[in-house]
Amino acid sequence: MKNTIKVERAKKGLTQADLAEMVGVTRLTIHSIEAGKFKPSVLLAMKIATCFGVTVETLFELEEDD
């Protein structure tokens, strides 16, 4: 699954640690999601999207192998 979290973080001037604290996970979790190594739960995806004021569909895009 592709995502644009890193881009959205940069727009808001947030670090991975900042975002992690905002949504209640570790920095490593945010890193893993950005790297495509971890697929977040629907709840976590919604929390992240809310932090950026965008929809989940704006942040995440399914790939053919998903």
Multiple choice CATH, 2-61, 1.10.260.40, 3.40.50.150, 3.40.190.10, 1.20.140.10? 1.10.260.40
- Is the predicted pLDDT of residue 64 greater than 90, yes or no? no
Q: Number of C-alpha atoms within 13 angstroms, CB side, residue 55? A: 3
User: What are the tens digits of pLDDT across the range 32-59?
Assistant: 999 999 999 999 999 999 999 999 999 9
Cα 41 → chain centroid: 11
Sign of CA dihedral 34, 38, 59, 12: negative
Across 32-61, b (16+ Cβ under 10 Å) vs e yields: ebbeeeeebeeebbebbbebbeeeeeebbe
- Is the predicted pLDDT of residue 65 greater than 90, yes or no? no
Q: Look up the pTM and report it.
A: 0.92
The reported pLDDT for the residue numbered 13 is: 97
The reported pLDDT for the residue numbered 66 is: 81
Q: How confident is the model at residue 24 (pLDDT cuts 50, 70, 90)?
A: very high
- Domain spans in the chain, listed from the N-terminal domain onward: 2-61
